[in-house]
A and B are shown apart, each in its own frame.
Chain A
Amino acid sequence: MNKNTRYVIYLFLMLPITLLAQEKKIDFFGSGRFALNNGSIGGALIDSDTITPRKQMRGATLFDLGFHIKPSAETEIKAITRVTNDINGFWGGGIVMNVRELYLRGLLLKKFKYQVGDLNTRMTPFTLYNREGELSVHNPEALNTFSEVIAYDKFYGENTWRQQGAQLDFGFKFNEIVNSLNVKGMITKNRQTDYFSTPDRLFSGTSIDFTLFKNLGLHYNLAHVFDVRESAMFSDARFSNTVHSFGLTESFFIKQFQFKLSGEAGFSKVSYENILAAPNIPTGNFATASLTFNPSKAWHVKLHANRVETHFRSMGAQSRRVDFNAVASEYSYYTNRESVRPANMLDILTDGNYYNLFLTPNLQGFNPVYENILPYGQATPNRQGVQAELGFRSKVQLGLFVSNMRISRYNEISGQGTLNLRNFSEIQWDANSNINHFYNGKRRLNLSVFYRLQKTQREGIKNIEEIQLNTSQVKFGLSYEVVPKLHLQMGLLLVQAKGNEFMPSRNAFNQVVFYERSNYDLNETLFLGGINYQFSKHNSLKIQWQQVNWDNALLPQNQYAINRLSVLYNLFF
């Protein structure tokens, strides 16, 4: 098909859309972005490296155009197309066009909400939940736009996973005892068959929520992943993972104090059929409870307890956002052996390549330097423990001030490779304030601070079983409004790790088969400094200098640093 014919077809396709727009049944929206990174790499490791180029410049422009079409009052269609052009794609050579999002939703019989196509799916933290990745919370404002871009590109909504399928949602209202009942069902396609040896894999989810006595909620959630029989002609192999979850939520007052109670408990089953050497995986149970107490509007106290057995498996809840096996988009390989460069802080915070879009059946690897207690969120298997949190959030005369402190204590339920258990402890504190209100300054001056210390300990035979690992994270952020809309922004992030760990290697059935011994005396720093011009709430330009330095004192020959000038213009309309 030549270009002219294609344009004529596009014109005819656009004609009804134009007509609909005239009747105001169609809205347009979208986003635009320009990103450019110009950086250099150096350090002791690079001095002995004769292959890796010292400088790299990468970037892209992209434009998303979305349509909201309402053919009738009860039907809505949303479609977003994306055009991406790499900086190196001159004369249209690097242009990629694709459909980024497409769904149809509406109301059936004025009672049943349905949606087909792309779905943003979420259930509970033990059934289907896309929890935040490493280093993602309490970051300096200098990193805001970068994290927004990743969340937008990867469809990370409010802890949702993007899937494709169909969803049906309906509810009933009853009397003053049983107030309401809501039912939601979904089925999505998780994997495409190759017609021969890999069967189709589907995810089905059901949520049933009762509200009783106005404040009491009873919940049942079922998440079921299964391979479709006879969808691959030469394979009888089938995998399934089922999680049943029962929960309650209750809000009540004792005198004038408000309490919120929530709990969830359930179990998982994993089965492998007709797969050579597949093990029988025992049922894995979990239980969690939280009690939140608000002594005043500003203060809150939260107590949380969690127990997840070793064999608990939930594909929807244990899939990770950050994939440490991914390859960086810049300086992907280094050294003369052309080894894959492991992720550093700058990669995790700004590089979308490290972020996963799909539910994965295996417990993906993680880096204990950044998170060792709950690498799979609340659903992390082989953990039990408690957390206590004290929080303050107030909009007083001095301006908004937010601060939280959290103390956690966890341990394993089964020892990994030994009868001795890992014990984990954590203390975390953050504060954020517009401190210009303290001195009646007119220009916004925002300060944010975060500190976290994690300790992992296990007793046992020295160098064989014993673990002593201390990791700390410090984040410091400053943002000052020099003139209206123009902010000077600075951020400093420090990660330290000292000690040793035995990282488990798992086979295709998630069984631990080996351990990688790792020793750390790591200092990793990330400095960010630059300007942010905020054209409007959803339209900003960032020009920023970034420097990350990775230095493990046990491997001084591996020290390296990346310096980078980053330009990021982002617009949502």
Chain B
Amino acid sequence: MQLIDFRCFIIYFSRTMKKLLLIFTACFLFILSGCKKDTAIEGPELVDLFGEFALLEPIRASVKSVNFANQEQVSFSGKLSIRTQWTMDIIGLNSGAIKTFIGNEKDFNAFPIIWNGTITYAPFFRKNEPCVARLRFENYSDTIYSDTISITDIRPTPSVDILIDDFESPQRPYNTFTEGQQTFNGTSVNYQGVSPTEKTRFYVLAGNRGPTASLFLCGMNLSARVSQGLGSNYFSFATDNPNNIYFNAYVYGWGDNKAELSIEFQEDDNKDGIYQPAQEGAYNFRLPVNWKGWKLVSFSYGDTRISTAGGFGNVDRTGKKDPDRIIATQFLLLSQAGTSGITRVGIDYANFTYYKPFQP
């Protein structure tokens, strides 16, 4: 009996279905015709990006003096009328040290800039040194300065996990190589009046590219065995995760916008103690050196890419990054594409840290 009732219902349902569907369509079209306006805005507000530029509140530091040795911090406040790309440099007025922040927020009160005494460009800040914050804009010519801040004591330099080289020992067995026609400069003290960032020496790679020569100028290779001074052929990292191993170094640029530095890590994939460039992988990180002065460069091993030079590390037997098989670090000086003539780059205090970049 119940089954018959159910079938009756289904038949009735089928007859009314068409009407229901038409009603459904009409309702749907009616809802759409309402053109509901959602009050939420997608993306940043246009007036914040393309409106009139003005400084609404001056740049102010939270303190007049700071003791970084006591882990004190300085925060900067201020307000712009629009969001625009800006660069804030905190400059040591005696040392010339620079800490750089880059951003595009318009309200520094809501998104404060906090400085803990670290540097971006060496040398280091000094004790009892006055500093000033300078704010510049990518799309506007205005430059804004804060009042001065006095550093009563500096931040202690943190330790690194593995020191590749501080370039203080000229007698170390650096394996250097160059294209025939280029000059090559090894370890230098105060090279061309440039002071090292740390202790007394740093390493210089320099070369002269002819208009039709290759981009490669010269290079230096340093084995992990020499770097660590241990019996092992390979760096002894505490982790095998490439993303948690950071390479750090100070890199000096002469501001000629011609140099490119390639930092390469050679993996001995079969662990026979010999790196064979045609059969084993090399991972590198390339950076155009477009600044003048010392800059701290950091990147994780995970950020490196396999070599693209045929026969020079572009084939990896294991098919992946193996930090525990890095047998050597190699520094190559290249000319930037479209440039020629003399160029150079300085390197100091190359090291590895775990889990986060080196922050002196």
List A residues at the B interface (Cβ < 8 Å): 177, 194-197, 212-213, 216, 233-235, 248, 250, 252, 261, 263, 287, 289, 291, 303, 305-307, 309-310, 382, 384-386, 411, 413-419, 421, 460-461, 463-465, 502, 504, 511-515, 517
Structural contact, A416 and B37, CB atoms closer than 8 A? no
Structural contact, A504 and B43, CB atoms closer than 8 A? yes
Interface residues of B in 45-87 (CB under 8 A from A): 45-47, 49-51
- 18 A-B pairs within 8 Å (CB atoms) are namely A194-B320, A196-B242, A212-B14, A213-B17, A235-B243, A250-B17, A250-B21, A263-B24, A289-B25, A303-B29, A305-B29, A414-B42, A417-B41, A419-B41, A461-B47, A464-B50, A504-B43, A515-B43
Chain B residues positioned under 8 Å from A307 (CB to CB): 31-32
Contact with A along B11-53 (1 / 0, CB 8 A): 0001001100110110011011101111111111111011100
Query: Do A418 and B242 contact each other (CB < 8 Å), given the known contacts A263-B25, A514-B49?
Result: no
Chain A residues positioned under 8 Å from B201 (CB to CB): none
Structural contact, A502 and B243, CB atoms closer than 8 A? no
Distance (whole angstroms) from the CB of A299 to the closest CB of chain B? 20
Which of A291, A463, A514, A517 sits near B25, CB closer than 8 Å?
A291
Residue B279 lies at the interface, judged by CB distance under 8 Å to chain A: no
Structural contact, A384 and B41, CB atoms closer than 8 A? no
Residue B277 lies at the interface, judged by CB distance under 8 Å to chain A: no
List B residues at the A interface (Cβ < 8 Å): 7, 10, 14, 17-18, 21-22, 24-25, 28-29, 31-33, 35-47, 49-51, 241-244, 302, 320-321
Chain B residues positioned under 8 Å from A413 (CB to CB): 36-38
Query: Do A213 and B14 contact each other (CB < 8 Å), given the known contacts A197-B302, A291-B25?
Result: yes
Query: Do A465 and B21 contact each other (CB < 8 Å), given the known contacts A197-B302, A289-B28, A416-B41?
Result: no
Interface contacts beyond A289-B25, A386-B32, A416-B41: sample of 4 additional A-B pairs, CB < 8 Å, sorted by A:
A261-B21, A417-B41, A421-B37, A461-B51
Q: Which 7 A-B pairs have the closest CB atoms?
A: A512-B43, A417-B46, A234-B241, A414-B38, A414-B42, A305-B32, A464-B50
CA–CA, A502 to B241, complex, Å?
42
Chain A residues positioned under 8 Å from B35 (CB to CB): 384, 411
Chain B residue at smallest Cβ distance from A381: B42
Distance (whole angstroms) from the CB of A403 to the closest CB of chain B? 26
Chain B residues positioned under 8 Å from A197 (CB to CB): 242-243, 302
Query: Do A513 and B18 contact each other (CB < 8 Å), given the known contacts A291-B25, A305-B32?
Result: no
Structural contact, A517 and B42, CB atoms closer than 8 A? no
CA–CA, A291 to B22, complex, Å?
9
Chain A residues positioned under 8 Å from B33 (CB to CB): 386
Which of A263, A287, A382 sits near B42, CB closer than 8 Å?
A382
Distance (whole angstroms) from the CB of A243 to the closest CB of chain B? 19
Chain A residues positioned under 8 Å from B43 (CB to CB): 416-417, 504, 511-515
Which of A196, A213, A385, A418 sits near B302, CB closer than 8 Å?
A196
Chain A residues positioned under 8 Å from B47 (CB to CB): 418, 461, 464-465
Chain A residues positioned under 8 Å from B51 (CB to CB): 461, 464
